[in-house]
Amino acid sequence: MKDSQLKKLLSNRVIGRHAVGRSVYFRVSAEGSGFWIFRYTLNGKRREITIGRYGKRADCIGLDEAHDRAAKARIDVRQGKDPALTNPYTAIRAFETLDSVFDEWIAIKAQHIQTPSIPTRIYKKELKPALGDRNPNDITPHELLKVLQKITQSGRPTISNDALSIARQIFDHAMIMGLCERNPASCLREMHAGGKEESRTRALGVTELEKVFRVLRTNKDRFTRDNYIAFCLLLTLGVRKRELIEAKWEEFDLELGIWSLPATRNKSKKAFRVAIPNQVRPMLNELKVKSYDSEYLFPSRRSGKYGHISSSTLNHALAKLFGKQCSKGFRPEINVMAKEDIEHFTIHDLRRSCRTLLASINVPPHVAERVLNHSQGRIIETYDKHDYIEERRSAQESLTDLLLTSAKM
């Protein structure tokens, strides 16, 4: 591997380990730094150490010196010595930190899941501050338990359970790499984190939605017009939040009233045509004007990693109406929903509400399920290839009429 190739890997942030020969690897971290790794087997166990940093600083080394250090370490291994004990590179602890294990794990995980940003966000916010710079072999179950309990006590049991699942997978990967001999998360269960989670059952009816829409319209300072339109689209289209906020204009044919949702962006991993009710097309036209030259329906409102709004934008906006603020916790005096006797609900509950409302206007179950793009089971999906788009359009237009007339959407 040439120096120009190393620089290209760094500039493109190709996170992970890249073989350069004779058990030497070039690791690119999530922060865009380069490190030299030497892998070896001692006493039947696979191990690795960081033998240097790549760059222009005085303490950094190039490919030739990395091979020289690896050669010295190889001699130690042949003599039965652990090169980790004599490793000349001390800027990073021998045996990787949990941060570096995460970097490699998420690079592999990203190839198999649609939203690697979710475990990345949870790790960096919840696990990294307390454990990120630690040697994975030194982290105890009790230390991990304290991190999980802190999350739970902050009122986020679901995140606590997610953090436990992510930690378990990261430590499993560390074991595979030979960096630790046991998984401190393996003895922890849901009861040690957020506890058993009950499936949500919250669904909003027409009468309640009329009050909700009134609150949304009269609190434009906390729930913007763009958020309002997104709220309406989630109710009438039945799509998932992520599918909507990441939607691009190139996927829409507003004349035909069709949204071609690509397989790469929906849970079923199959291309899906969403029927657009005639009544909501003016909302989409409004978004088109407001988005200017952006490729997204909901462009990012600040400079960031993505061109569209954050996945938490709608959640936070709705939470504020219930008096929940990230920096100040719960403030009952600004809970405008409670003043209208509206029980707490989340953005995800809108999808359940859509399905429930479809049932209330006698939409056949097989049509209602296809509106939500739910799996129909192997046999039905094998033999019934009709996509029911006109049936779905009729059902969604009836639902939209109900929301416009009765709920005053």
Strand, helix or coil for residue 405: helix
Third-level CATH fold of 206-405: hpI Integrase; Chain A (1.10.443)
User: Rounded CA gap, 157 and 180, in Å?
Assistant: 28
Between strands 45-54 and 252-253, the pairing is unpaired
Tokens of 244: 């909507």
Q: What percent of the chain has pLDDT over 90?
A: 51
- In this prediction, residue 6 carries a pLDDT of 85
Q: Which residues contact 363 (CB under 8 A, 6 or more apart)?
A: 371, 395, 398, 399
pLDDT by residue (tens digit) across 53-101?
A: 887 777 688 888 889 888 988 888 888 888 876 665 543 444 468 988 8
Question: Please, what CATH class does the domain formed by 98-192 belong to?
Answer: mainly alpha
What are the backbone angles phi and psi of residue 252, rounded to the nearest 5°?
-105, 140
Question: Hey, where are the domains in the chain?
Answer: 3-85, 98-192, 206-405
pTM: 0.67
The DSSP string of 25-80 is EEEE-TTS-EEEEEEEEETTEEEEEEEEEESSSTT---HHHHHHHHHHHHHHHHTT
- Over residues 2-30, the mean pLDDT reads 84
pLDDT tens digits along 353-364? 999 999 999 999
CATH-assigned architecture of domain 3-85? 2-Layer Sandwich (3.30)
